[in-house]
Chains A and B, each alone.
Chain A
């Protein structure tokens, strides 16, 4: 009599082996010494392989559909066949280890980046587009779910940059994602959202982007070098002084950074990129 662990390991092997239940059952027999016909009841309704096929087919379909739901624009850009090829390869290499399907696609952008086709240059726009778009879509999904600025009580400050000057401690809401992209994706994303057509691949160009949320609506905004740098430094725990020292350069001394920052704060608050730190965090 096989143990519970053996039976479960056997069924998981049947379900998750690439190629379907037949190949899975053959592999499971090799690994566990258990045969489908001996382990699974047959009756007039269906034989053991048909029954195992329900679980094996369902496994891949379920996870594939979740990945497609997380990356709808990537699927449109790659086309169903190419997206399906990479998605299935990803799922076989990265089975879920999480209780939630939300985590399933977290590694897909990195997986795509690791699997650049041979003889393709690293800065080839046609190759960069799916990789960068996957990063963008994943960030969008994370922004939807993480803690946002909705419960922060600092919105009265948005009316006046002078009031903002009195606040010296700012935090970036956890839902904000900062992306350093190799393609200008915001116009591409907007064109994709507005039409069923897939636009031309944009020319390679560095692009700094914040994906943010306000009143539960997610949006993407381009950032300048110093805006990106300040937000990134604040997120890492720097205070304003430390952040501005990080960002300053020959063209933009620290005083200029702080001056521009002060003027930009109301806009950043309106976009959900900043909230005044609670009093206890300032003390």
Chain B
């Protein structure tokens, strides 16, 4: 067991819990060290998915990952949402609660997308006081993920990595480092992804996300619909190296594989997750290629398959 970071343990290797896999997991076991759920999928949900979650969380730890906190919005914090989030956390006892450094809407409208902010001093102070307010309400450190982005505002004198690093140091919040998002944004905006990762305070990084993006020919889009490309594996190794190893030589930060569209069968998902273990052991991940190039076409800027309808017929 490695030393807790911000009081949070290294959970090992996990995947995002998706409806299509529930039956398999209940029949054959988790096959992973832990799961991440999308918080909004379970707020107010008292059906089969919740029943399955209750059975699964009796076997392995679960963390809650949200997409609607809108920590960067200029709207007031949604206290109703936050109280429901807290209620869910009291019921399912997640190891941690995370969301994204982004805004999802304004003037009461939710775009259901992880939208970029202008990164300047007023925005920083705004986000900082909101993170502190959320941590006060939840009575635990909030964990924030770096999102993928497709535009940067000209009125942004701060780099995202510096913004996040300062936020973590000054509020005590945790960081969910999505190395795929670093890869996507670095390509789209032309910055050095390794510099980005090295700028983050490693003692605040409590989780790492892996996923596969789509190359549309110009922009990379964070589609979570394919295997992790070689460059993301390289960044993953760097991120784990930055966070250090324990006395046994093992990594110290929890790893999670996300897959939200064209979702493979559960055993295939576990094979992809196992590449993370192989990569950390220094074994070569094959094939060593970058993301497939897909002709430019409209793509989700944020995948939402995890929020789509459940199957009608489910086995209890």
- Residues of A whose CB lies within 8 Å of any CB of B are 1-5, 7-9, 11-12, 15-16, 38-41, 43-46, 48, 50-52, 54-55, 57-59, 61-63, 65-66, 69-70, 72, 95-102, 140-141, 144-148, 150, 175, 213, 215-218
- In the complex, are the beta carbons of B153 and A45 less than 8 A apart? no
A52 CA to B107 CA, complexed, in Å: 20
Q: How far is the CB of A230 from chain B (nearest CB, A)?
A: 24
- In the complex, are the beta carbons of B316 and A215 less than 8 A apart? yes
Determine the chain B residues whose CB is within 8 A of the CB of A144 once the complex forms: 47-48, 310, 312
| B73 at the A interface (CB under 8 A) | yes
| B112 at the A interface (CB under 8 A) | yes
Determine the chain B residues whose CB is within 8 A of the CB of A96 once the complex forms: 105, 109-112
A50 CA to B217 CA, complexed, in Å: 12
The residue in chain B whose Cβ has the minimal distance to the Cβ of A96 is B110
| B150 at the A interface (CB under 8 A) | yes
Q: How far is the CB of B40 from chain A (nearest CB, A)?
A: 5
A100 CA to B197 CA, complexed, in Å: 31
Q: How far is the CB of A185 from chain B (nearest CB, A)?
A: 15
The residue in chain B whose Cβ has the minimal distance to the Cβ of A218 is B312
B152's contact among A41, A65, A102, by CB below 8 Å, is which? A41
- In the complex, are the beta carbons of A70 and B188 less than 8 A apart? no
The residue in chain A whose Cβ has the minimal distance to the Cβ of B43 is A100
Given A5-B74, A100-B40, A144-B310, A55:B301 Cβ within 8 A: yes
Which residues of chain B from 270 to 312 have any CB-CB distance to chain A below 8 Å in the complex?
A: 298-302, 304, 307-310, 312
Q: List 18 A-B contacts (CB under 8 A).
A: A2-B118, A4-B123, A39-B154, A40-B152, A46-B218, A51-B188, A65-B304, A66-B304, A66-B307, A69-B308, A70-B309, A96-B112, A100-B307, A101-B307, A144-B310, A145-B47, A215-B316, A216-B316
Q: How far is the CB of B137 from chain A (nearest CB, A)?
A: 15
Q: How far is the CB of A162 from chain B (nearest CB, A)?
A: 29
Determine the chain A residues whose CB is within 8 A of the CB of B307 once the complex forms: 66, 100-102
Size of the chain B interface, CB-CB below 8 angstroms = 59
Q: How far is the CB of B47 from chain A (nearest CB, A)?
A: 5
Given A59-B111, A216-B314, A54:B126 Cβ within 8 A: no
- In the complex, are the beta carbons of B190 and A43 less than 8 A apart? yes
Q: How far is the CB of A114 from chain B (nearest CB, A)?
A: 21
| B219 at the A interface (CB under 8 A) | yes
B155's contact among A2, A51, A57, A99, by CB below 8 Å, is which? A2
A40 CA to B51 CA, complexed, in Å: 45
Determine the chain A residues whose CB is within 8 A of the CB of B51 once the complex forms: 150, 216
Given A39-B153, A55-B113, A146-B47, A100:B68 Cβ within 8 A: yes
| B162 at the A interface (CB under 8 A) | no
The residue in chain A whose Cβ has the minimal distance to the Cβ of B219 is A46
A216 CA to B41 CA, complexed, in Å: 17
B150's contact among A44, A51, A102, A146, by CB below 8 Å, is which? A51
Q: How far is the CB of A140 from chain B (nearest CB, A)?
A: 7
A146 CA to B44 CA, complexed, in Å: 7
Determine the chain B residues whose CB is within 8 A of the CB of A58 once the complex forms: 113, 298-302
The residue in chain A whose Cβ has the minimal distance to the Cβ of B151 is A51
A150 CA to B47 CA, complexed, in Å: 9
Determine the chain A residues whose CB is within 8 A of the CB of B187 once the complex forms: 45
Determine the chain B residues whose CB is within 8 A of the CB of A102 once the complex forms: 40, 44-45, 307
Determine the chain A residues whose CB is within 8 A of the CB of B44 once the complex forms: 100, 102, 145
Determine the chain A residues whose CB is within 8 A of the CB of B154 once the complex forms: 38-41
The residue in chain B whose Cβ has the minimal distance to the Cβ of A52 is B151
Given A4-B126, A12-B111, A59-B113, A216:B302 Cβ within 8 A: no
B47's contact among A4, A51, A65, A213, by CB below 8 Å, is which? A213
A71 CA to B218 CA, complexed, in Å: 34
A16 CA to B104 CA, complexed, in Å: 13
- In the complex, are the beta carbons of B74 and A3 less than 8 A apart? yes
- In the complex, are the beta carbons of A11 and B47 less than 8 A apart? no
The residue in chain B whose Cβ has the minimal distance to the Cβ of A147 is B46
A72 CA to B311 CA, complexed, in Å: 11
A12's contact among B81, B105, B155, by CB below 8 Å, is which? B105
Determine the chain A residues whose CB is within 8 A of the CB of B7 once the complex forms: none
Determine the chain A residues whose CB is within 8 A of the CB of B221 once the complex forms: 54
Given A45-B218, A147-B46, A62:B113 Cβ within 8 A: yes
| B71 at the A interface (CB under 8 A) | no
A1 CA to B190 CA, complexed, in Å: 24
A7 CA to B118 CA, complexed, in Å: 8
A46's contact among B103, B106, B188, by CB below 8 Å, is which? B188
Interface centre among B68, B111, B300 (most CB of A within 10 A): B111
A148 CA to B73 CA, complexed, in Å: 36
Determine the chain A residues whose CB is within 8 A of the CB of B122 once the complex forms: 3-4
| B108 at the A interface (CB under 8 A) | yes
